Structure 1
Amino acid sequence: MSEPNTSCAAFQRNAAIDPAAVAVRSIGGDHTLTWRQYADQVREVAAGLHALGVGHGDTVALMMGNRVEFYPVEVGVQHTGATSFSVYNTLAPEQLNYVFENAGNRVVICEQQYVERIRRSGAPIEAIVCLDGAPEGTLGLPELKAMGSGDFDFEATWRAVRPEDILTLVYTSGTTGNPKGVEITHSNVLAEARAFHAVLPVAFGDRQTSYLPSAHMADRFCCLYLQQVYGIQITVVPDRSLLPAALVDVHPTIWGAVPRVWEKLKAAIEFAVANEPDEPTRAGLQWALGVAARKADAQLSGTAIGVELATEWAEADERVLSALRAKIGLDQLKWAMSGAAPIPPQTLGFFFGLGIPISEIWGMSELTCVASACPPAQARLGSVGRMLPGMQWRIAEDGEFLVRGPLVMKGYRKEPHKTAEALDADGWLHTGDILAVDDGGYLRVVDRKKELIINSAGKNMSPANIENAVKAATALVGAIATIGDARPYNTALIVIDAETATLYAARHGLPDASAPALAADPGVLTEIARGVAAGNATLSRVEQIKRFTVLPTFWEPGGDEVTLTMKVRRKPIADKYAEEIERLYAEKPGDTVHEPAEAQAAR
C-alpha cells in the first residue's frame, strides 16, 4: 500500500486500523470518540459543509476551546478539499476582521460565546455554525450534519484533495504589525510528520494532551496532525489550570510544552517538596532532588557522571524519583520536548536530573512547526538538536540562519512582497533567527536577528539569553524585558508571574496577591533582586542587568507586551514604558528602581 500523500488519506488509513479504539477523549474519559465514531462524524460534517457550498479551495475558520468536537469538525473541513484554520479566542473584533478578510473565509464554526464578537468583526461571513447551541441566525452542528445530501460523493471528494493544496493557515503572533497568514500544504505536513517521526518516534495509540490553542502550530502539529498521520490518542484539556490533573489522568507517552509550562511545573514540584507536611517524606524528597541536582550540574557542565554519582542516582530513582514522576504523570514518556522559545538550561537540567530528559526543538510556523530535534539519548542541554532529515541549512553573511526543504511554507496569504522577502529565488527561507552550529551539526539558538542588543560600546548581546538567566533563578519572574540597545549598560522591566504570585502570597501569609501589592512588597523585591544577581552571575559583565524595576501589573498573553505565545513585544514595550525606562538610566532613578547588590560597584 502506498504512503498517504494528504492528511485526509492518512486519517482514513488510521481510522481503519482499530475502529473501536478511543481516538479523542476528555479528562477522565466522560466524553470519548472511537475511531469509528470519529470517521462517521467527519463524513457528516463534510456532507453538511458541501451542502453549504464549501468545497475545494474554500476556507473555513474555527473559533473554540480545546474540546472533543474540534477534531471531527476540523478533519471534516479538510475532507471537502477546503482549508481549515483556527483563530485565537482572545482576538478582538477588529483583529478578527483582519484575519477573516485575509483568509477569505465565508464560514466560521465556533462556540456560542464567540458569535456576537464574530458578528461585530464586520467580516463578510455568510454562515456561522455553532457547536453548543443555535443562536438566532446561526446553524447548530446537528443542523449542519442533517443538511448533508445522500448523493454527496464523500469518497471521491476527499480523494480529489491534492498534496499541494493548502491544508491550513497559521497566523503568526506578530511582535510587530498585523499577523501574517502562513500557508501550509498537505505535502508540508506529511513531510514534517515523517521527518519528525524519524527522530522522535510516534506510534498508533501513543497518548498526548491538547492544551495549547489550536491556532498555535505546536498544538495543530503535535496533536491534530500527528493523530491523522500516526493515530495517536488525544485528551483535550479545556483549561490550562487542568493540565496537572490531565497529566495524572493520561500518563502521556509523548509530550511537549513551551518553556513557561516546564518552568511552572518545576516551580510546582519545588513548592510541593518544600511544603510536604510529613518530615521524613520531605527529607527523602529533598535528598533525592539534591542527587538529581548534582547529576544535572554534571550534565550542564559537560562533566562525566562518575560511578559513585550514577549509583546514588539509581538509588534515588528507585526510592523516590520514579514515584515522583508517576505522581506528576510523566512516568511513561517515550520522549518529551520543549519549543516555541528558548528554555533556561537550568530548567532542562532539573528535569534531566529527575529522569525526564527533554529534547529542545527549534522551528517556526513557516517551517510547518519543528525543524530541528534530537532523540533524548543524543540531546545536548542548551542545543536544539540537529536539522530534521531532508532539510538543508546555511548561514548568511550577516549571521542569519537560512533553511531549504520540504517543510518550507508555500507563502504568506495574499502578501507576495512579504513572501518574497522571506523566501528567496533559490527557495531559501530567511528565518530571522541567529543560530550557531557546532562540528557535530548541533544547533544553538542565539536570538532573533532583529532583537539583538547593540550597546553604546558596540557590543552585541542576546536579550533572550539574559532574560532566561534571570527566569531560571527565580520562579517569581513571569516575564522580563531587557533594555540596553544604544545604552551604556543593561536594565530590565520585570513582571511577576501571576500563578507563582498566588503561591508566594499564601506561603508568606500575604493578604494581597495583586500585582501592585507584590511589586511593592520588600520580601518579593528581595527575592527578585536575588534572582537577578544569580542570573547575572552566569553572564559576562557587559550582559549583566545593572538596574531593574518591577512593574505593578501582570502581562497577559496577547496583550500589549507579550504575544499569545508569550514572546516579548519589544518595540511596544519600549513605547509604553518609556518613562519607566528613562528612570532606569537617570542619575537619581527613584524608589521604584532597584539594583542587585553587586551592580552599583560593577557599573
Structure 2
Amino acid sequence: MPDTSSPYRSIPDMFASRVAESGTREAFTHPVPSPDGGPETWRTLTWNQARDRVRDLALGLHSLGLTSQARCAIASNTRIEWILADLAILCAGGASTTIYPSSTPPDFAYIVSDSGSMLAFAEDDEQVAKLREQRGAMPGLSRVIAFEGAAGGDDDWVMGLDELEALGARRHAEDPGLFDELVAAVRPEHLATLIYTSGTTGRPKGVRLDHANWLYEAQALQALDEELRAQGRGLLTGDDVQFLWLPLAHAFGKLMQVSQLRLGFVTAVDGRVDRIVDNLSVVRPTFMAAAPRIFEKVYAKVVTQAQEGGEAKYRIFRWAADVGDRVARLRERGEEPTGLLAARHRIADRLVFSRLRARFGDRLRFLVSGSAPLAPEIGRFFSGAGITILEGYGLTETSAGSFLNRPGEARFGSVGLPLPGTEVKIAEDGEVLLRGGGVMRGYHNLSGATEAVLTEEGWFATGDIGTLEDGHLRITDRKKELIKTSGGKYVAPQSIENRFKALCPYASNLVVHGDRRPYCVGLVALDPEAIEEWAENNGLGALNYVGLTREPKVRRMVQEAVDELNKGLPRHETIKDFAILPNGLTVEGGEITPSLKMRRRAVEEKYADLLDGLYEKAPRRS
C-alpha cells in the first residue's frame, strides 16, 4: 500500500513548504471589478504574494486574541478572500468554522455559539446584518471582519479586511519572526476545521477535523498521483488549472483547497454560480470539481438547444448521443471503438461533441463529481463527448475524499476505488463502513453522537448502503431513506431519481415516495430555466412557472420520461402516478440543504396532501 504519512506537521507547514518551492509561480487568479464600471478583470497572486497577505491577516487575528485552536467563523461565498482568511486562521493557530452564506440568521447564531467562535469573517453587508441581528445570542463573538461593504456601525464590533491586514502588517514590522513561530506551533492533532453538516434532518452537527485529517487527504492524492504516474498516467501537476467555485463551507470544496497546497496547481477562484459558464471560457481550466446538478444542467442546456434547432438538428443530436453512449460503454471495458463505430464517432464529434468541449474552454483533462450520486447516463454522455467525469465519494465525517474513479478506468454508477490509506467493508445490513486518516475525530458538543457512528477500532458507519464489485464501490442509497412498501418490497429511491433526471432534463428533482404504501408515486419539481426554454420552443412562452406546472403539454412531456423510466425498473419500483409541484425545491423553502441535498422528509411533509391525493386516484399501472 502506498505511504500516506504526511511529511508536514500541519496545513500551515504544508503551505510554507509550497511557498518555498513555488514562490514566484502563479497560485491563484480571481476576478476584480473595474473601478469605472467596465468589464471585470482577473488578477493573479503568486505563492509569495499569497503568503504575505496570509501572514498579515494571521498576525492581525493574533493581535485580536485568536489563540491555539480558538474558533473563527467564515460566512461567505467562495472567493479569494475566503481562502486567504482560512489560511490566516490556521497559520495563527486557530480553527475555521464554516457557515453557508445562504443560512438564516438563527442558523448563524446556532453555529457561532455552538462552535464557540470568538471572531467571524463576513462577506458583505448582507452577511454582517445577519450577525448583527443575532448579536445578543452570540455573546462570545468579539469582532466581525467584513470582506467588503460598509464595515462600520455605531461601534467597532465590525472592521474591514484591510484594517485587519494593516494591523497585522504593523505587528510583523514589530516582530518579524512571530509568524514563523505561530506556524511552527501548530500540531497534527490540533483542531483545524469545524464543518457543520447541512443535514437532511434536524440541527446541523459540527464535525471536528484536525490538521492530520487534511494532511492525510492531501497526501493520499499525492500518493494516487505517484501510483498513476508509475502506470504512465498522472493525476495533476503544477501546470494544471483548477476552476474552484464549490462552496468552501462544504468539505468537498475544502478538499480541493488543501489538495492545491500539496500538488501545487493553479486555482481560479469565483463562487458565483451564474458566472460559471462565462468563466469557463476565460479560465480554460484543465480540471474542475462540481456537484452532479451542474452536469445535469449542462446536459439539459445541450438537449434544449438541440431541440431549438428544429427536428433535423435534434435527430442529429440524438444520433450523436447514441453513438457516444456506445463508445462510453466500450471504454468502461477498457476498449476503444474501431471500424464503423469509430468513423461514426468522429462525425458525431465534429457535429456535436466538439462544441460541448469548447464550452469548457477546450482544455479539460477531467471533471470530478461528488457530494451526491451522478446518473450513469449523464456520465456516459460526457464520456462519449470526450469529457471524462471522475465520480468520487466521501462525507464531511471522512474529510470529503474516500473514493475516486481513476482516469482511464471510470465505471459509471460506481464511485471508484478507495483512496490510498482508506479501508472499506460492508456491514451485514449493507451499510458502508470506512476507516482511515480522513475519518473525523468526532462531533462537537454532542455527547453519544460520535460513539453511535464510530467504533473503537476506527470504523465509521456512513449511513449509506452499498456494494463492492472488484474493489469498486457502488452506493445504492441512504440507509434511512430506503423505502419499504406495504407489500414488503424494498425500493432505493436515489438511483431511480437520478435516472429520471437524465431522462427528463427539464426536471430538477424527482421525489420517489412509497414507504408503507402499496406502490410508489413521485413528486416532480421542474427546473425553472430549462422549462422556460422548453416552453418557448413549444408555444407556451406566455405562461409563467406555475402556469406551466398545470399545462397538459408539460404533463405529457413528463409522463413520457416516467414511462421510459419505468421500462427499466422492476414492477415494485415503477412510478404509478406523479404530481408536478407548483414550486421548485429551494434552500429558502427548507426542502434543499445548502449543499444541494434534498430533505426528503421535509418535502413529504410539505406536500402530504398532494401525496395522499395520488393514492386516492392513481390507477395501478405497471
The answer to whether the superposition gives a TM-score over 0.5 is yes
Question: Please, which of 153, 162, 166 is the counterpart of residue 187 of structure 2?
Answer: 162
Per-residue deviation, 1:324:
2.1
Looking at structure 1, the residues matched to 21 and 79 of structure 2 have their Cα atoms a distance apart, in angstroms, of: 24
Distance 1:169 1:266, change over 3 A: same
Q: Is the 8 A contact 1:362 1:373 kept in 2?
A: yes
User: Match of 1:209, as an amino acid?
Assistant: F
Give, in whole Å, the separation in 2 of the partners of 1:154 and 1:409. 28
569, 572, 579: which is aligned to 1:539?
569
The letter of the residue matching 1:128 is V
Uncovered stretches (5+) of structure 2, i.e. residues with no partner: 1-5, 32-39, 226-234
- Tell me the distance in 1 between the aligned counterparts of 2:591 and 2:513: 14
Partner residue, 1:464: 494
Q: CA deviation at 1:601?
A: 4.2
Structure 1 match to 2:34:
none
Structure-1 residue corresponding to 2:610: 580
Q: Report SS of the residue matched to 2:121.
A: strand
Q: In the alignment, which residue of structure 1 is the partner of 2:280?
A: 247
Residue number in structure 2 paired with 1:596: none
Instruction: Tell me how far 1:77 sits from its aligned partner.
Output: 1.0
Corresponding position of 1:528: 558
- Kept in 1: contact 2:421–2:436 (CA 8 A): yes
Task: Say if 1:218 and 1:558 are closer, same or farther in 2 by CA, change over 3 A.
Answer: farther
Match of 1:16 in 2: 20
1:96: how far off? Answer: 1.0
- Encode CA deviations 1:211-250: one digit per residue, 9 max, x unaligned: 222111111111x212222222222224211111112212
Aligned to 2:255: 221
Residues 315 and 29 of structure 1, relative CA distance in 2, 3 Å threshold: same
Give the Å deviation of 1:210: 1.9
The corresponding residue for 1:560 is: 590
Q: Size of the alignment, in residue pairs?
A: 587
The more displaced of 321-330 and 373-382 is 321-330
Structure 1 CA distance for aligned equivalents of residues 513 and 382 of structure 2: 30
**8 Å Cα contact 1:169-1:183 kept in structure 2:** yes
Is the Cα contact below 8 Å between 2:328 and 2:381 reproduced in 1?
yes
Which residue in 2 is equivalent to 1:361? 392
Contact persistence 1:199–1:375 (CA under 8 A): no
Picking from 134, 137, 141, the partner of 2:161 is 141
**Contact 2:390–2:406 at 8 Å: present in 1 too?**
yes
1:496 aligns with 2:526: yes
Instruction: Report the alpha carbon displacement of residue 296 of structure 1 after superposing the two structures with TM.
Output: 3.6
Distance 1:513 1:213 in 2: 34
Deviation at 1:361, TM superposition (A): 1.0
Partner of residue 401, structure 2: 370
Instruction: Give the letter aligned to residue 499 of structure 2.
Output: A
Q: Does 1:123 align with 2:148?
A: no
Deviations 1:432-459 (A, max 9, x none): 1111012x11111011111100111111
Contact 1:561 1:569 in 2 (8 A): yes
Distance in 2 (CA, whole Å) between partners of 1:103 and 1:147 is: 26
Once residues 142 and 303 of structure 1 are traced to their aligned partners in structure 2, the CA distance between those partners, rounded to angstroms, is 54
The farther-off stretch of 391-400 and 173-182 is 391-400
1:151 paired with 2:155, answer no
Preserved contact between residue 63 and residue 109 of structure 1 (Cα < 8 Å): yes
| Alignment of 1:114 onto 2:136 | no
Check whether the contact 2:476–2:495 (CA below 8 A) recurs between aligned residues: yes
The answer (yes or no) to whether the contact 2:576–2:621 under 8 Å persists in 1 is no
Residue 498 of structure 2 aligns to a residue in which SS? helix
Match of 1:132 in 2: 148
1:178-327 maps to which residues of 2 (within 5 A)? 178-199=203-224, 201-222=235-256, 224-276=257-309, 288-296=320-328, 307-313=338-344, 315-316=346-347, 319-320=350-351, 323-327=354-358
Give the 3-state SS of the residue equivalent to 1:456 in structure 2: coil
Who is 2:58 aligned against?
Answer: 46
Q: Using the alignment, how far apart are the partners of 2:584 and 2:621 within structure 1? A: 31
1:77 aligns with 2:77: no
Partner of 2:7: 3
Work out the CA distance in 1 between the residues paired with 2:175 and 2:351: 61
Correspondence for 2:473 among 422, 443, 451 = 443
CA deviation profile, 1:48-92 (whole Å, cap 9, x unmatched): 111100121101011122222222221111101100132111111
Q: Matched residue of 1:480: which SS?
A: strand
- Return 5+ residue gaps in structure 1 as ranges: 590-598
Q: 1:339 to 1:574 in 2, by over 3 A?
A: same
- Preserved CA contact (<8 Å) 2:103 2:594: no
SS at match of 2:22: coil
SS in 2 for 1:370: coil
CA positional deviation for 1:424: 1.3
CA–CA distance in structure 2, aligned partners of residues 67 and 215 of structure 1? 12
SS in 1 for 2:586: coil
CA distance, structure 1, for counterparts of residue 519 and residue 68 of structure 2: 56
The 3-state SS of whatever aligns with 1:378 is coil
- The answer (yes or no) to whether the contact 1:480–1:493 under 8 Å persists in 2 is yes
Amino acid at match of 2:192: L
Task: Name the aligned partner's letter for residue 362 of structure 1.
Answer: Y
Normalising by structure 2, report the TM-score. 0.89
Q: Structure 1 counterpart of 2:493, which letter?
A: P
Residue deviations 1:26-60 (CA, integer Å, cap 9, x gap):
25753332222211100100111111001211010
SS in 2 for 1:108: strand
Distance 1:117 1:535, change over 3 A: same
* More divergent stretch after superposition (96-105 vs 195-204): 195-204
| RMSD over equivalenced CA pairs, Å | 2.3
Q: Which residue of 1 is the match for residue 545 of structure 2?
A: 515
Partner-residue secondary structure (3-state), 2:476: strand
1:470 and 1:278 mapped to 2: Cα distance? 23
Give the aligned partner of residue 100 of structure 1.
112
Q: Is the CA contact (8 Å cut-off) linking 2:327 and 2:337 kept in structure 1?
A: no
Q: Distance in 2 between matches of 1:140 and 1:220?
A: 24
**Partner residue in 2 for 1:418:** 449
Q: Percent identity?
A: 33
1:172 aligns with 2:197: yes
Give the aligned residue type for 2:530: T
| CA–CA distance in structure 1, aligned partners of residues 310 and 183 of structure 2 | 58
Residue in structure 2 matched with residue 409 of structure 1 by the alignment: 440
For 1:513 and 1:56, how far apart are their aligned partners in 2? Answer: 58
Whether contact under 8 Å (1:175, 1:567) holds in the other structure is yes
Asked whether the equivalents of residues 322 and 331 of structure 1 are also in contact (C-alpha less than 8 Å), the reply is no
* Secondary structure in structure 2 of the residue aligned to 1:393: strand
Q: Give 1:531 deviation, angstroms.
A: 1.0
Q: Distance in 2 between matches of 1:140 and 1:347?
A: 44
Change in CA separation of 1:579 and 1:442 when aligned onto 2, cut-off 3 Å: same
